[in-house]
Structure 1
Amino acid sequence: MMSSRSVTRLGEACRYKDAHCILCLLVEPRRDTFCPAAWSWEKTVGRTMAKDKKKPSESKKAKKAEKAAKQASKGEKKAKTKAARLDGSDGEDVDLDEVLEAYRRQQEQFHKVTETICDGPPRPRAASTLLAAPHDSNSLLLFGGEYFNGSLANFFNDLHIYNIARDEWRSVSSPNAPLPRSGHAWTRASNPSFVYLFGGEFSSPKQGTFHHYSDFWRLEPATREWTKIESRARDKSPPARSGHRMTYWKQYIILFGGFQDTSNQTKYLADLWIFDTVHYLWHCAVLPPAQLKPDARSSFTLLPCEQGAVLYGGYSRVKANVTIKKKGSKTQSSGNKNVLVPRVHDDCFFLRMALPPVGASPETPPTVRWERRKKPANAPNPSRAGATMTWHKGRGIMFGGVHDVEQSEEGMDSEFFNQLFAWNIERNRFMPLSLRKPRQQKKAVTEQRLGRRGRAQANEEELLRQLAALETGASLDDADDMELDWRPEQGAAEDEKPVREMPVSMEPPHMRFNAQLAVQDDVLYIYGGTFEKGDREFTFDDLFAIDLSKLDGCKEVFSRPVEDWVESEDEDEDEDSEGDEGDDEEDDEEDDQTDDEGEAMHTPSKRKKHEREVSSPDTASEASSWSATREDEETETTATSVDDGLPHPRPFESRREFFARTSAEWQEVLMTSLRWKGTQPETMSIKEIKTKAFELSEEKWWDCREEMTALEEEHDAAGIQEVVSLSERGDGSTGGAKRR
């Protein structure tokens, strides 16, 4: 029995004031009833009193006191968690139809579309959609999503608009908007005036029951107005789903895949639907049974191309036979069992499309056909799920992903990624994108003006100078010295407020999967995403920007700390049992090390550990053998140029410099192409020809961007800062004697 003085002093300090607290009642500690503070006191003080002859050092006393405080704070946290669970304990008893109807009634209270400036970025969310505004190259659109804190799920239906130049978020409320959802898909159309959205899911707060949407919406970004598109026949529209993908081709919207999740099973879909934006009709593509087509999947990539669309990757769960062995037997088995195992797809398909014949009825669908492509060269290895991709200048920009390494006793060991890749759609080839320090410019050019409007103004000035040079008969090299009778728009600079200085890092964002990507004005924006550690799921609350033309760093638009995870009851019990065993068996140093590791969100995966091991000099032979496995599956990542007879950019050459050097050649290419199409170039003005030629040169510049990036890195390593051709210089310095 402990002294009453010690117990009374500790009992007065007990924060719980529990009637059953063993310290408050001055009772000897028992394991059947106690408060966290009392049990912490027993382990730290009681054992020390029993060991008078073995007095611990001051450092150990401090560590134990710190551990006691930590246990007490954990008790408080669990009490709050329990209260949160009690608040949402009836979350599974709600009727989803009633909840959605309440959302509808609440939304009807908005009499008109209102736009409000937000104090900061929107709340964190996963499975939302981010899109570059098609009507305004200075805006991003963000809609929907969900946030799960470990206990309850919250869904959103707010539309947020981010103004890039102002660094400003706006929230749009509308009387007619889609209900809260996540896992939906949307895409712009060939007509930049509209954005189309389909499907998604909604669940009860504890995610016990799910509701999938089958509604189809059209958003007009300029006016912020939503319009629900009703189908003429119920069987003439896609069924409800989430996790699908959409893209556009000419006047059509393409929809494929996804899944339907019920309380009993998850069904993955492989149907193809096409929506005609002119006649407002859905077409279900009926393909021959013998025709090769993609397997059912979700979370894949679907990008537009000139003759249709391309599909890559995805995720699904397929049935597999697993042998079940008897307990205590090594040879005899009790039979096979069908279970669902995850499957990460790494195949690629091309959807070839053709317009209906001229004069066909409006109900005639376009001709479609799936064609299997070869596996892309230099595909990311290992294959990964949740690696999102967005379209940019004839290529796909990929970021992140997760790969399940192995199943251990503790659960699935997963590896997360934060690598950037560019997938050239036409060449079917991946190239890694690496950030690099910005090069020092020889002179301050007009492109360095702040803001997108300044860059556009500089491009317009350059184009007008070159047009003036052509009209006067001067050379393009003299265009920079010409003066223009041109003034920028009045009040243009006054509309933009100065943008704050944003931190720039030479490392990509933290590894994650299912991040939302969008490219606006050649800048890649990475929003949110998910990271898992054990049974915990972290939703990132950040936005980053990377200039794809320069790759000179990752700009942090905003980044807020990850919110606390509300642990489930199973996690609480596991932590309690693990903590008790650890206190009894492990020493103080190991406990401290474990606590530090538990606080970190990122832990290196086994693959990363293996890479560090093989990088040492003693294991160089192991590293070579390990890297050889990748060489068997894919080709080298060295960029190879394709000779198509068109002018080729040089390393370190910007788009403006490339066009200034090859402008005459691109105009010849354009006029030849026009004549082949039956159009006479003489019917076009010089400015129109110049603009079209610049678009062709820009397309070529982006098509070769990964090759030039690889060459620029080689030149940087060799100390080469610029590549010039002496034969093109006008000073005649082509001979060796002249140079000397």
Structure 2
Amino acid sequence: MGKKDKKDKADSKKAKLAEKKAKQANKAEKKAKNKAAKDDSDAEDIDLDEVLNEYKRQQEQFLKVTETICEAPPRARSASTLMASPCNRNNLLLFGGEYFNGAMAHFFNDLHIYNIDRDEWRCVTSPNTPLPRSGHAWTRASNPNHVYLFGGEFSSPKQGTFHHYSDFWRLEPAAREWTKIECKGKTPPARSGHRMTYWKHYIVLFGGFQDTSSQTKYLADIWLFDTQNYMWHSPSLPTAQLKPDARSSFTLLPHEGGAVLFGGYSRVKTAVAANKQSKGHSQGSRNILKPMIHQDCFLLRMTLPAENSPANTPPGVRWERRKKPANTPMPSRAGATMTFHQGRGIMFGGVHDVELTEEGMDSEFFNQMFAWNIERNRFFPLALRKPRANAGKKSNAPAEPRVNRRGRAQAAEDELLRNLAALENGVSLENADQLTLDKREEEKEEDIKPMREMVVTNEFPHARFNAQLAVQDDVLYVYGGTFEKGDREYTLDDLYAIDLGKMDGCKEIFRRENEDWVQSEDEDDDDDDDDEDDEEEEEDDDDDDEQPAVPLITPSKRGKKPRAADGAEAEEASTSVAEEEETEATTIIDDGLPYPRPFESRRDFFARTTNEWQDILIAKLQAKGGEGAAALTVKELKTSAFELSESKWWGCREEIAALEEEQEAAGITEVPMLARSFQTSAACMTAGSTALPARKPVGAFRGGLFGFLLGTTLAGASVYGYLVQEYTASNAVLSADIYALQQTITRVDTLLKTLDGKVGALEKKKN
């Protein structure tokens, strides 16, 4: 038996040796292919101007704007730009970007349009498209028909030389047409990594960098483009004024007072000790560039020029430093992109690097999502929740389809028209729904193909940095990004959708794997070393089978290592967690405005508080002076009031979501509504119309409305004790209910006075 075992082991070793030789031969062949691929690439002294001119000649061969349906999503790319179309709530716009496969870089200048309802990609080509680029910036304007793009970069295939653009373009999303804007006077210098936003009729540009292969220069200049006079302004700021440091890859979001800036990335010079000198000489120092992640926040305050100023007068500009936002994501991270949504910035992803040596670093990637409330200057973590179990148990009717803003606006307009018709015809609001409206027939929409099944998970997308974000119709779209593992850089090729109102899952629109990565010789050598280590380990196991296996940890070439919770890091982590818990426990600020209840939709919130928002809007307009509310129609007044209520609903969405989670844990899964009985309301309306002198049908409506308001107030008062018992823990919600009841009681007289004026006007009109 012993001789047989030795013979079997010898045969096994021979088989492993043959397998090892075959594997080495395959690796040698693979190395030769990779080397040939790199050697066949363009030389590093390539003339980029000639390459770009050739691209331009090819571009001019297109005779007109052409839009074709794509069979598959666009090719994988990074440093591109994604935007929700400002003129079509069903489209996403994607332009440019680059893809690096480990050996060569390829740049794009194609414009792709994603149709959300159809789940369809379209590619647009035209004779006047910007040249291929990445790291550019674009923004919509106050005019929803225009999108403006500036700058970007292009490089040789092996990224040895770079070219930065300084051209400025305007895109008309509806017509798919590009227009290059040539301006007289000073224009912004070439750059990439900058950011743009809009304010009034101005385009705001700040920051970025210029890479000349030998050095990188970060910028901190402000440029304003006047979309009415087609002129660039470079406002001069006092030297003593506090302003942001030079940076790139930061956040620049629109603000009613100008623009708000947060974060960013740059590399700053730092003096470090040089190598030890010979005896008798002092140790010198040398300068190196170390990465710096900015976490400061600034408001760019802008004021319009005086009315009698010349046409070329720039707006007033000054930087105002804000406090560091509360609950800032920790640890600090670069490449955490942010997009604007309803007065908030939605942040996703990022990477935190810890330099172990000058050549190696340890990187931690994130897939966390945060909402930054701009006015309150506070971050709130966002989490996905499972759909509520009773969401579809209220009735056996099929679930209603998702209603977009256009549908909500149309429903609100129909409701308003019926109420106006009821006032003119002397019909009570109870019977307003029975009125038919004379509306012209709308054109039939295009047939929409059935949607394919998409995977929905309860987890955020894979960790990444520099992902592209866009919000369309309250849905966040996450496209692409970059992830690193070892020395390999993964350009993620995927698109996800997350409903920011429900946060009930992450929908995977598409996801593909990259298979064309070209490994470097160093990576192949590392693989060989790993294989040899594995084989040696197997041989050791064969020699001594009874010895327990010990896992081997081999650090990679970059000097990365598993994150160890040493004393300092553990202390920092515990401190940050404690601070986060302390800040999250802060009570909700009561600003005196109507407050939404848990599980209350935006429409229900506005229906409950519409009168209060209209009163608030009228008070604001009267405070500004002029005609004020008298200049607004009823439709405009109600629309503006809805916008105010929607802004409030989103502004406190994170706190309400936390209350919803607490109440779901307690078994409460529905919005706490005041007890309303339609029979009681109808009886109150009848009693009101009988008790009050009904001069005409309009008077009957007046009395009925008074009875309805009084009945609603009494019904609310009757359940006040129930609210106290059930929602003692939710102080903010309880305060909002008390405030609503008080406001309803005090509003009756004011509303009756307003109705008297309307009744008098209608009576004069009939007479």
The two structures have a TM-score, normalised by structure 2, of: 0.80
The one of 657, 671, 676 aligned to 2:604: 657
Q: Which of 224, 229, 236 matches 1:286?
A: 236
For 1:153-168, list aligned pairs within 5 A: 153-168=105-120
2:35 aligns to what?
Answer: 82
Partner residue in 1 for 2:646: 698
2: CA distance, partners of 1:443 / 1:456: 26
Most deviating of 292-301 and 75-84? 75-84
1:202-250 deviations in Å (ceiling 9; x for gaps):
00000000001111111111111111111213xx011111000111100
The question of 1:365 aligning with 2:350 is answered no
CA contact (8 A) 2:251 2:264 kept: yes
Q: Could you tell me whether the CA contact under 8 Å between 2:330 and 2:576 is conserved in 1?
A: no
Instruction: Give yes or no for contact 2:336–2:466 (8 Å, CA) kept in 1.
Output: yes
Counterpart in the other structure of 2:121: 169
Answer yes or no: is the 8 Å Cα contact 1:199–1:216 preserved in 2.
yes
The corresponding residue for 2:694 is: none
1:230-249 matches, within 5 Å, as 230-233=182-185, 236-249=186-199
| 8 Å Cα contact 1:352/1:370 also seen in 2 | yes
**Alpha-carbon displacement from aligned partner over 1:313-363 (angstroms, at most 9, x marks no partner):** 00000000111232999x996311111111111111110000111111122
Q: How does 1:93-104 map to 2 (within 5 A)?
A: 93-104=45-56
**Aligned-residue CA RMSD in angstroms?**
3.7
Indicate if the aligned counterparts of 1:531 and 1:539 stay in contact, CA closer than 8 A.
yes
Q: Aligned pair in 2 of structure 1 residues 57, 267: CA closer, same or farther (>3 Å)?
A: same
Q: Partner residue of 1:56?
A: 9
Aligned length: 668
Residue 418 of structure 2 contacts residue 435 of structure 2 at CA under 8 Å; is this kept in 1? no
Choose which of 307, 312, 316 in structure 1 pairs with 2:266.
Answer: 316
Distance of aligned partners of 1:386 and 1:528 in 2 relative to their CA distance in 1, 3 Å threshold: same
Whole-Å separation in 2 of the counterparts to 1:734 and 1:350: 45
| Secondary structure in 1 matching 2:312 | coil
Deviation digits for residues 552-576 of structure 1 (CA, Å, limit 9, x no counterpart)? 1111111111233211233334444
Identify the match of residue 522 of structure 1 among 474, 495, 514. 474
The C-alpha deviation readout for 1:24-64, integer Å capped at 9, x for no partner, is xxxxxxxxxxxxxxxxxxxxxxxxxx999363399989887
Tell me the residue number matched to 1:569: 521
Structure 1 range deviating more: 462-471 or 667-676: 462-471
Deviation at 1:417, TM superposition (A): 0.3
CA 1:625 to 1:688, structure 2 compared with 1: closer, same or farther past 3 Å?
closer
1:547 to 1:477, Cα distance in 2 relative to 1, 3 A: farther
Give the aligned partner of residue 247 of structure 2: 297
Equivalents in 1 of 2:361, 2:296: separation in Å? 24
Q: Does 1:336 align with 2:280?
A: no
Find the counterpart in structure 2 of residue 689 from structure 1: 637
Q: CA deviation at 1:392?
A: 0.5
Q: Which residue of 2 aligns with 1:27?
A: none
Give the match for residue 436 of structure 1. 385
**C-alpha separation between the residues in 2 aligned to 1:657 and 1:102?**
58
Read off the aligned partner of 2:211 and give its amino acid letter: D
Cα displacement (A) at 1:443: 3.7
Aligned equivalent of 1:461: 411
Structure 1 contact 639–706 (Cα < 8 Å) conserved: no
TM-aligned CA distance change 1:532 to 1:337, over 3 Å = same
**Distance (whole Å) between structure 2 residues aligned to residue 704 and residue 229 of structure 1:** 41
Q: What letter corresponds to residue 83 of structure 2 in structure 1?
A: L
SS in 2 for 1:716: helix
SS in 2 for 1:325: coil
Report the equivalent of 1:260: 210
Provide TM-score, normalisation by structure 1. 0.82
Does the 8 A contact of 1:415 with 1:605 survive in 2?
no
| Kept after mapping to 2: 8 A contact 1:467/1:690 | no
Q: Which runs of 5+ in 1 are unaligned?
A: 1-49, 615-621
Amino acid of the residue matched to residue 331 of structure 2? P
For residues 496 and 298 of structure 1, do their structure 2 counterparts lie closer, same or farther at Cα, with a shift above 3 Å needed?
same
Asked if residue 347 in structure 1 is aligned to residue 280 in structure 2, the reply is: no
Alignment check: 8 A CA contact 1:311 1:350 kept: yes
- Partner residue in 2 for 1:39: none
Q: Note the residue ranges of structure 2 that are not aligned, 5 or more in a row.
A: 543-548, 681-714, 726-767
Corresponding position of 1:273: 223
Deviation at 1:699, TM superposition (A): 1.1
Measured in 2, the distance between the counterparts of 1:735 and 1:695 equals 29
1:506–1:554: 8 Å Cα contact kept in structure 2?
Answer: yes
Identify the match of residue 506 of structure 1 among 458, 462, 473: 458
Partners of 1:449 and 1:96 in 2: CA distance: 55
Cα pair 1:241 1:260 within 8 Å, conserved: yes
What is residue 734 of structure 1 aligned with on the other side? Answer: 719
Measured in 2, the distance between the counterparts of 1:145 and 1:720 equals: 47
* Counterpart residue type for residue 661 of structure 1: R
Paired amino acid for 2:337:
T
Change (3 A) 1:434 1:416: same
Q: Could you tell me how far apart the structure 2 residues matched to 1:681 and 1:571 are?
A: 70
